[in-house]
Amino acid sequence: MNLIAFETSCDETSVAVIKNGVLAANIISSQEFHTKYGGVVPELSSRAHIKYIMPLMKSALEQAELRIGECDYIAATAGPGLIGALMIGFVYAKGLALSLDKPFIPVNHVEGHIYSGFLMDTKPQFPFLCLAVSGGHTLLVLVKSFTEMKILGSTIDDAAGEACDKVAKLLGLGYPGGPFIQKHALLGDEKSIKFPIAELKMKYDFSFSGLKTAVLRFVQKEQSISGNISEQMTNHIAASFQYTAVTSLAKKVEKAVTEFKPATLCLVGGVAANNRLRTAIESIAVKYGIPSVIPDMQFCGDNGAMIAFRAKSLVESGETFALTHEAFPSFVSDYLS
Ligand code: KG4
Ligand code: ZN
């Protein structure tokens, strides 16, 4: 199977190619310029996708040594994401499919992340428990096959990545916040400040807004006492925040491992790049004697490879596609707005 996939849901333009069933290219262009605005500017994101989508497609095909006419399927992220950004990749891919008379496969972005463990040499085994943590979503999912999954819980307010971004902003660090939190956390003491972990009625749901507010209150109090936040205090806050967020995620993951006894434990999404979280999830897997699969960095943040793989798995699962497909074809979309 030859397939080309486009990902443009937020601030990464990415094109991936599967050649003879194997990933042959995964080119990602990150829109670094949003940093100076402290967050993604949707209008600018859409414009950058327009600029880069065609050159990236050409590079990906070149790298894969494939011609566009040799692709059997054309796939693109259908959502969720920024609508203007999504539309660039979606409509571009659909037009391509129409002109080539090839099936178009719309892919749910979160499902792309959830199955991204399959891009690794060691594949997840079904049923696997998957913690999907990104800038837009935080989900705990029991994945039974390529066509069946059960969402055990999700965030009731901020996503984990969103919380990192907001706390980083509060501390005057850069955007996206996650990597800055991780960098400063390495220099701080994670037990120095005790931030609260939310207690929720639904046992697998998550909440980060209380934690975010606790950090805000702490920062305001510190500022009123000492006038400003020292570099060392910034490190302690980043470390303590990261520790609390990781602990709250890990607690639910461990509970679900004991209840559902999955064959594999997966951690996916942009926040899966966080070393402290990776270690925490790996430790749970070791404790319960199950393998863990956490994608390499290039497959954690948004990337075309995960969209290509998800499209391939849908085709192989017998889903049929027509150019008229508008809706998400599958499962997570039933739960996400
Ligand atoms: O999956 P992703 O690239 O985009 C969405 O689908 O949202 O995730 C982006 C999120 C951002 O919130 C970013 O701060 C976070 O992933 N992130 C991290 C790290 N690297 C990226 N969070 C914590 N630690 C990191 N090292
Ligand atoms: Zn994502």
pLDDT in tens, the chain (337 residues): 999 999 999 999 999 999 999 999 999 999 988 888 888 889 999 999 999 999 999 999 999 999 999 999 999 999 889 999 999 999 999 999 999 999 999 999 999 999 999 999 999 999 999 999 999 999 999 999 998 899 999 999 999 999 999 999 999 999 999 999 999 999 999 999 999 998 898 999 999 999 999 999 999 999 999 888 999 999 999 999 999 999 999 999 999 999 999 999 999 999 999 999 999 999 999 999 999 999 999 999 999 999 999 999 999 988 766 554 444 444 444 434 3
Nearest CA to ligand 1 atom 22: 178
Q: Where are the alpha helices (DSSP H) in the chain?
A: 42-64, 83-100, 109-114, 160-170, 177-185, 209-226, 231-260, 275-287, 304-316
**What is the 81 CA–ligand 1 centroid distance (Å)?**
14
Q: How far is CA 254 from the centre of its chain?
A: 21
Asked whether the domain spanning 122-294 has the same topology as the one spanning 3-114+299-336, the reply is: yes
**What is the 136 CA–ligand 1 centroid distance (Å)?**
9
Quick one: which ligand is closest to 7's CA?
Answer: 2
CB 177 within 8 A of CB 160: no
Could you tell me the pTM of the whole model? 0.94
Nearest CA to ligand 1 atom 23: 178
**E strand or H helix at 185, and its extent?**
helix 177-185
Q: Does the CB atom of residue 134 touch ligand 1 within 6 A?
A: yes
Q: Does the CB atom of residue 307 touch ligand 1 within 6 A?
A: no
Q: Does the CB atom of residue 177 touch ligand 1 within 6 A?
A: yes
Domain 3-114+299-336 is found in CATH 3.30.420.40: yes
Q: Does the CB atom of residue 329 touch ligand 1 within 6 A?
A: no
Neighbours of 271 (CB within 10 A): 30
Q: Does the CB atom of residue 79 touch ligand 1 within 6 A?
A: no
Q: Where are the beta strands (DSSP E) in 35-92?
A: 73-79
Q: Does the CB atom of residue 7 touch ligand 1 within 6 A?
A: no
What span, in angstroms and rounded, lies between the C-alpha atoms of 195 and 20? Answer: 50
Q: Does the CB atom of residue 301 touch ligand 1 within 6 A?
A: yes
Quick one: which ligand is closest to 109's CA?
Answer: 2
Give residue limits of the domains in the chain: 3-114+299-336, 122-294
Quick one: which ligand is closest to 241's CA?
Answer: 1
DSSP character at residue 300? T
Position of tokens 């559902």? 260
**Ligand 1 closest atom vs CA 81:** 6
The highest-level CATH class for domain 122-294 is alpha beta
